[in-house]
């Protein structure tokens, strides 16, 4: 959709970059407020409102592709998606507590699957000859249909916390947020810099560089699909420790001067290592006792999402000052830090029972 809107609105690359930034800023603005919104109005109500808003806003960007509306509609879409992101994780923590077994990795696996399905489905519809407007209307319609059929099964309560607004992360929540930031930064680096890294460092053909992110994303999805069972067997602390080390080794392997396509093995290890760290950390944020769960999850998501926004730029600055290989080495060191945050934050071995 981005190339279509760019063409229709006659946007320059610079203007498009600013517009995409407003999308992220809208999400960042919503995330700190999501916990208090869920506490005040109930989790289900916020999910329904934010999902409906997103379903209505998305097609409008195609039907009204003017710079004026895009500067309004994109931040609003980001706000709706950011609110939905945090509230869904609050809902997931509540469901997991009631089940008394790990479920968060499976929830995040479906997030990954949704990314594949969305991109692949849109491409299929466009290849079949449908217009961009029809494709976005189809996506919005499917979202609304899914919402109608599932909303009544969602938990209506708002989780733990109050409606007093955003609270700064503190204690173990701050450490959890920093760990999430590093993992999200790693994911952003794989998406935005992985192809260029393979091209510059390993002289991979441009047509083949996309296999790096494909390997990373596929391994992450598979790891999350199996994650809940693995968490039950190994425990949350081992998942964070082993995951951080595995991802760091993957980055190191990708940096070695290996013949093509062996560097792709590094991307696979990064995906497997990162797969279950964030789900386990979100569970830890919901289970700690220093902050109310709603506020903790909102704070952790906000800090973590900052890694997605600023991470690619930070990688670029380091690459400019030194080299892209050095930038990836910094990612490996940061992932080692994540590996040892698990025991520090006291990640619980299983979900807390409901009171």
Q: What's the pLDDT tens digit per position in 96-143?
A: 888 888 899 999 999 889 888 888 888 888 888 889 899 999 999 999
Residue 105 belongs to a domain: yes
Confidence band for 233, pLDDT divided at 50, 70 and 90: very high
Sequence-distant contacts of 122-128: CB under 8 A, at least 24 apart:
122/1
- Spatial distance between the Cα atoms of 52 and 140, rounded to a whole number of angstroms: 9
Highest mean pLDDT among 15-24, 126-135, 343-352: 126-135
Query: pLDDT value at position 163?
Result: 52
What is the per-residue pLDDT for 162?
56
pLDDT for residue 350: 41
The predicted structure's pLDDT at residue 20:
83
For range 50-54, the mean pLDDT: 96
What CATH number has the domain bearing residue 191? Answer: 1.20.1250.20
More confident residue, 329 or 195: 329
148, 20: one domain: yes
**Residue 272 confidence (pLDDT):** 96
Name, in order, each residue with C-beta under 8 angstroms of 242's C-beta and a sequence gap of 6 or more.
234, 273, 339
pLDDT value of residue 14? 77
Mean pLDDT confidence for 77-82: 94
CA 151 from chain center: how many Å?
A: 22
Q: Do 43 and 97 fall within a single domain?
A: yes
State which residues form the domain around 198: 172-345
pLDDT tens sequence across 295-330: 899 999 999 988 888 888 888 889 889 888 999 999
For the ranges 18-22, 39-43, 159-163, 344-348, the maximum mean pLDDT occurs at 39-43
Respond yes or no on whether the N-terminal peptide bond of residue 261 is cis (omega within 30° of 0).
Answer: yes
Residue 346: the pLDDT is 55
Question: Exposed (0-12), middle (13-18) or buried (19+): which is 314, by Cβ within 10 Å?
Answer: middle
For the segment 10-26, the average pLDDT, to the nearest whole number, is 84
Instruction: Give the 3-state secondary structure of 33-70.
Output: HHHHHHHHHCHHHHHHHHHHHHHHHHHHHHHCCCHHHH
Phi, then psi, of 226 in degrees rounded to 5:
-95, -5
Q: Decide: 311 and 260 in contact? Cβ < 8 Å.
A: no
Contact 294, 89 (CB under 8 A): no
- Please write down the HEC assignment for all residues of the chain: CHHHHHHHCCCCHHHHHHHHHHHHHHHHHHHHHHHHHHHHHCHHHHHHHHHHHHHHHHHHHHHCCCHHHHHHHHHHHHHHHHHHHHHHHHHHHHHHHHHCCCCHHHHHHHHHHHHHHHHHHHHHHHHCCCCHHHHHHHHHHHHHHHHHHHHHHCCCCCCCCCCCCCCCCCCHHHHHHHHHHHHHHHHHHHHHHHHHHHHHHHCCCCCCCHHHHHHHHHHHHHHHHCHHHHHHHHCHHHHHHHHHHHHHHHHHHHHCCCCCCCHHHHHHHHHHHHCCHHHHHHHHHHHCCCCCHHHHHHHHHHHHHHHHHHHHHHHHHHHHHCCHHHHHHHHHHHHHHHHCHHHHHCCCCCCCCCC
Same domain? For 120 and 259 the reply is no
Tell whether the model's pLDDT for residue 80 goes beyond 60: yes
Q: What is the mean pLDDT of the chain?
A: 88
Q: What's residue 355's pLDDT?
A: 40
Domain for residue 125, yes or no? yes
Considering the domain architecture, whether residues 132 and 215 belong to the same structural domain is answered as no
Residues 226 and 132 in one domain: no
| Domain assignment present for 148 | yes
Instruction: Tell me the pLDDT tens digit for each residue of 154-185.
Output: 998 876 655 566 678 888 899 999 999 999 99
* Domain co-membership, 147 together with 177: no
- In a domain, residue 159? The reply is no
Say yes or no: 213 and 309 in one domain: yes
- Is pLDDT of 232 > 70? yes
The number of distinct structural domains making up the chain is 2
Does 122 share its domain with 200?
no
By the 10 Å C-beta count (0-12 exposed, 13-18 middle, 19+ buried), 120 is classed as: exposed
CA dihedral of residues 141, 145, 146, 152 (deg, nearest 10): 150
Closest alpha carbon to 272 in 253, 244, 252 = 244
pLDDT band at 336 (very low <50, low <70, confident <90, very high): very high
What pLDDT does 165 receive?
62
Q: What is the mean pLDDT of residues 83-95?
A: 91
Whether 258 and 326 map to the same domain: the answer is yes
pLDDT at 292 over 90: no
Residues 53-69: pLDDT tens digits? Answer: 999 999 999 988 889 99
Looking at the fold, whether 183 and 136 belong to one and the same domain comes out as no
The answer to whether residue 23 sits within a structural domain is yes
Q: How far apart are CA 47 and CA 326, in angstroms?
A: 41
> What pTM was computed for the model?
0.85
């Amino acid at each position: 959709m981005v190339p279509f809107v760019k063409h229709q609105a006659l946007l320059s690359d610079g203007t498009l970059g600013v517009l995409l930034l407003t999308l992220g800023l809208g999400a960042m603005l919503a995330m700190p407020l999501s916990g208090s919104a869920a506490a005040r109005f109930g989790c289900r109500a916020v999910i329904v409102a934010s999902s409906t808003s997103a379903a209505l806003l998305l097609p409008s960007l195609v039907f009204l592709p003017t710079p004026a509306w895009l500067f309004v509609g994109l931040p609003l879409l980001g706000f709706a998606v950011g609110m939905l992101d945090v509230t869904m994780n609050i809902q997931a923590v509540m469901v997991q507590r009631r089940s008394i077994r790990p479920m968060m990795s499976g929830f995040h696996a479906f997030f990954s699957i949704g990314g594949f399905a969305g991109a692949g489905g849109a491409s299929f519809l466009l290849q079949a000859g449908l217009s961009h407007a029809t494709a976005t209307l189809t996506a919005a319609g499917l979202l609304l249909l899914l919402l109608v059929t599932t909303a009544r099964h969602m938990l209506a309560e708002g989780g733990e916390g109050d409606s007093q607004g955003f609270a700064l992360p503190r204690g173990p929540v701050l450490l959890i947020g920093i760990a999430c930031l590093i993992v999200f930064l790693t994911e952003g680096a794989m998406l935005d810099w992985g192809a260029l890294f393979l091209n510059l460092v390993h002289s991979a053909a441009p047509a083949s560089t996309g296999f790096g992110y494909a390997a990373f994303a596929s391994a992450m999805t598979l790891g999350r699909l199996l994650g809940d069972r693995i968490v039950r067997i190994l425990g949350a602390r081992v998942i964070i420790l082993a995951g951080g080390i595995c991802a760091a080794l993957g980055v190191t392997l990708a940096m070695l001067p290996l013949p093509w396509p062996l560097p792709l093995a590094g991307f696979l290890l990064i995906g497997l290592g990162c797969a279950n760290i964030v789900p386990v950390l979100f569970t830890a944020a919901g289970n700690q006792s220093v902050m109310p769960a709603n506020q903790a999850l909102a704070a952790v998501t906000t800090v973590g999402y900052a890694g997605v926004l600023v991470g690619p730029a930070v990688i670029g600055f380091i690459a400019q000052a030194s080299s892209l290989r050095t930038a990836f080495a910094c990612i490996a060191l940061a992932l080692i830090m994540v590996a040892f945050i698990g025991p520090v934050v006291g990640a619980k071995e299983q979900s807390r029972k409901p009171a």
